[in-house]
Structures are given as C-alpha cells and as structure tokens.
Amino acid sequence: MRSEILTSVEKLEHSMTEALIRLCRIPAISPHNGGTGEDAKILELAKLIDELGLKNISLKAEHVDDDKAPSGRRPSLFLEYPGKNPRRLCILSHIDIVPEGDKSSWTLDPFKPEIRGSRIYGRGVSDNGMCLVASLFALKALQDAGIEPEYTVLLAFVADEEMGSHYGLEQLIERDIFRLDDLVVVPDSGNDAGDFIEVAEKAVWRLKFTVTGKQVHAAYPNKGVNACRAANMLAYEVDEALHKEFTQRNELFDVPFSTFEPTRRVANVPAINIVPGREVMEFDCRVLPEVNLDGAFDVVKKVCADVERKTGAKIEIEVDRSDATEPTRADSEVCRLLTRSVKSVLGIEPYAGGIGGGTFAAFFRKKGIPAVVWAQECEGVAHQPDEYTEISYLVNNAKVFALMMAGE
C-alpha cells in the first residue's frame, strides 16, 4: 500500500505545481498590514477543491468578525473526510501571507509566480502555500489510489496566522471544531533536510513603544523634545537591559536563549528639518519558558521611566503576549506517526526540538492537545524577496501527509 500511495502522489506533481501557482497569484494579506484579507483566496481554494472532484467530503466555512476587512470578516475553511477510525488527523495550514516588502528587491512580480528550474518563486509559495497544497493533494492521492484513510482527515485552511491569529485560530479554537484526541500537525516550520520536528515553542512577546515629545523646527531643538533621540535611547537601553538580565539557556531550542529584537520603526516626519514629536517602535521577543515575563516587563518599565526622566519624553507601552506552553512529548502518538512517515519518504530519522514560537501549535498545546510542527521547506526564504520552494519538497510533503492519513 505504501508504494501505491507514493506513486499516486508522484502522478499529481504537475497538478500540485499548477495549484500552488494559481493560489499564490491572489494576495491574502491582513487588512491590519495593508491588505484586504483572505476572502478572494478562500473562494479560489473552494473552487479548486470542487474541481478536484473529492468524494464524500464535508466543507465548512468559519468566520471571525474584523471591522478592518472589506467584508467585515476573516474566513477560514475546514475540509473533513471520514476514515476507518473516527479519531482525526488534523493538518492546519494558513491561507494568509505577509506583504511583498520592497518590491524593487524582487526579480519577478511577487504575485505572478514563476517556475525557474526546480523551483517555484513568488510570495507565499513557501509560507504557507506549499504545505496547504500538499495537504490537499495528499488526500486526492489517497482517493485516486482507492485507499481509505486510517484516520478521519481534517484539513484546516486558516486566516490571520501572520499577524498573530487574533482573527483566526485564537478564536476558532474556542468553538466546537477541535477535539482533545485530535492528532494535530502544523506544517509551518522546518528545514531543507526535513529532519526536524518542532515540539516546543518559546513565548512570543511583542512590545510597542509610543514615545511622545514636542515637535519643533530642527534649527531650534531647544524649544522641543526630540522623540527620535528618546526612542533611540530607549531602543538601546531596553535591548541592553533585557539581554543582561535574562541569560538562561535551553538546548532544546534553536536558538537556545531568549531573543529581544528591535524590529520596526514607524515613519515619523516628512522633512529632515523637523524634530519629531512622536516616534513608534516595536520589539519582537522570543522568550524561553523558564523566563518570567512579568519580571521581564518590570525591567522594561524601569528602563522607560529612566528614559522619560533623562529626556522629558513620555512613553506608552502596548504588549502582545503569548506565554510558552508545555511541550508535546516526543513519544506522543502524533509525533510517532509523523516520524514513521518521514522515515518512509526521506529515509532519515527526524529529531524533536523547539523554535522561537509563533505557530498554530501553541494554541493546541494550551488546550492540552498535542501538536507537532513539521515540513520539508527551504530555509531562510519565508518573508524574503524572491521567496521560493523546491518542487520536490512540495511532492515530499504530500507523500508524508498521505502516509500519515493512511496510518503508515
């Protein structure tokens, strides 16, 4: 049966490639990040599913209200197919993507994907289009081969992962969609070898600082309060204080220590001769489970008070926090099933470890549902100009998912 499944997947390579290009022509960018959301892409995905002619499936759309979306909602789509066992294998991919960034850094139109040699290039082809398509065509391959899945299959195509899942899984997981005995796979992180299974994530801690001074002409800085200078001082001192205070290491994780990264500054004044009266900047922090986030926030507040005293500026802090959860056990059923399938397809023994955080898996672990994160994917290309995926990885991921569905 195993060879039949693998052969069935291989026959679908061209169709998978076409489907990935087709879906990635449609931007699905959060309205909170300059886009219009996932509606158009969900409609195209539903059309693709209908064209595949899958039998005995049930499709259900779920929506989360979002006033910033043109439709007023953020859609997700769930496909279920019964297997021999009512216990479900759930594979969750996300439909949304990040913006293209600096378009001049691309060698192609980000939303006109191209095949170049063994690769497909375009925004979203790796993150997370490849595994979305692979999960769907894994089920198609089983049906084409006439093989009934061992597990009932639930494929979830979910909104808003890239911006924190507030309009996606964060709310959907509170609905009657998932079960405590579900086997959950999140194909949203991995490496070229395909030998890494993520079973743990750091806390995700995002800090937004609004620094308010007084805007004046640059020729008379003494009459104002330079918010840019205060923000520069704040960024340096927060960075220094957090790294000095929290030095713990945990070798389960790659990277094995907490990271506190200043990442974004919002545009301030339109001319060079204006001293800005307002600056907005953000930190993205990935924090080991053993670090007390309340204690870390106390460190940040102390630094803010010191910078206010030194500069005369006022500082407000907004926090987006997702605490670390208990890891999924490496000997859990879903981890063993995935390990077996990866060995069959890639001929390697995968190992378990932790990452910086930010996948769907954390939501499941908080609910006590073991979840693993795995994919064979090109390292370092997500969110970058000229994002790409290897076509062979698309096929290999579909093979692994198909074997898992079949209990192989």
CATH of residue 232 = 3.30.70.360
Same domain membership, residue 399 and residue 309: no
Same domain membership, residue 10 and residue 88: yes
Burial class (CB in 10 A: 0-12, 13-18, 19+), 101: middle
d(CA 150, CA 142): 11
Looking at 273, 302, 322, the residue that finishes a domain is 322
Q: Which candidate in 144, 160, 161, 188 is catalytic?
A: 161
Same domain membership, residue 271 and residue 140: no
Q: How far is CA 24 from the centre of its chain?
A: 16
CA distances (Å), 40 to each of 5, 317, 323, in order?
32, 35, 33
CATH of residue 112 = 3.40.630.10
As for how many domains the chain has, the answer is 2
Same domain membership, residue 209 and residue 196: no
d(CA 24, CA 21): 5
Looking at 322, 344, 360, the residue that finishes a domain is 322
Helix axes 293-311, 227-245, angle to 10 degrees: 150
Give phi and psi for 291, each to the nearest 5. -90, 130
Whole-model pTM?
Answer: 0.86
Same domain membership, residue 129 and residue 189: yes
Same domain membership, residue 154 and residue 18: yes
d(CA 399, CA 282): 40
Distance in angstroms between the alpha carbons of the first and the last residue of the chain: 9
Same domain membership, residue 262 and residue 155: no
d(CA 295, CA 4): 55
d(CA 387, CA 107): 10
Where in the sequence is the domain holding 265, given as residue range(s)?
203-322
Q: What is the per-residue pLDDT for 358?
A: 79
Looking at 287, 307, 322, the residue that finishes a domain is 322
Same domain membership, residue 216 and residue 165: no
Contact by Cβ (8 Å): 16, 398: yes
Same domain membership, residue 287 and residue 170: no
d(CA 277, CA 269): 9
Same domain membership, residue 389 and residue 313: no
Q: What is the per-residue pLDDT for 142?
A: 98
Same domain membership, residue 230 and residue 172: no
Q: What is the per-residue pLDDT for 322?
A: 87
Same domain membership, residue 99 and residue 80: yes
Point out the residues of the chain with pLDDT beneath 50.
none
The answer to whether 96 is a known catalytic residue is yes
Q: What is the per-residue pLDDT for 405?
A: 98
Q: Which candidate in 38, 66, 96, 390 is catalytic?
A: 96
Contact by Cβ (8 Å): 300, 317: yes
